[in-house]
Amino acid sequence: LTDEDIKAIVALSKDKRIAERIVTSVAPSIYGHEDIKRAIALSLFGGETKNP
């Protein structure tokens, strides 16, 4: 990763609206359906580790 990439990641990590930004970035061409988009985002990025 470049220094620019790291700065962008750190800036996003401090964004209070990051969850909303992720949800709106899922299928941006589809209007509405925020609940479905949130479920998709959670299934993509959420979860528990499988290794103890």
51 in any annotated domain: no
DSSP state of 5: H
pLDDT of residue 47: 73
26 in any annotated domain: yes
Q: Within the chain, which residues score under 70 in pLDDT?
A: 52
pLDDT of residue 52: 66
Whether 26 and 42 have beta carbons less than 8 Å apart is answered as no
50 in any annotated domain: no
Across the chain, the runs of DSSP E, i.e. the strands, are none
52 in any annotated domain: no
The domain containing residue 24 runs over which residues? 3-45
Number of domains forming the structure of the chain? 1
Measure the CA–CA gap between 1 and 4, rounded to whole angstroms: 8
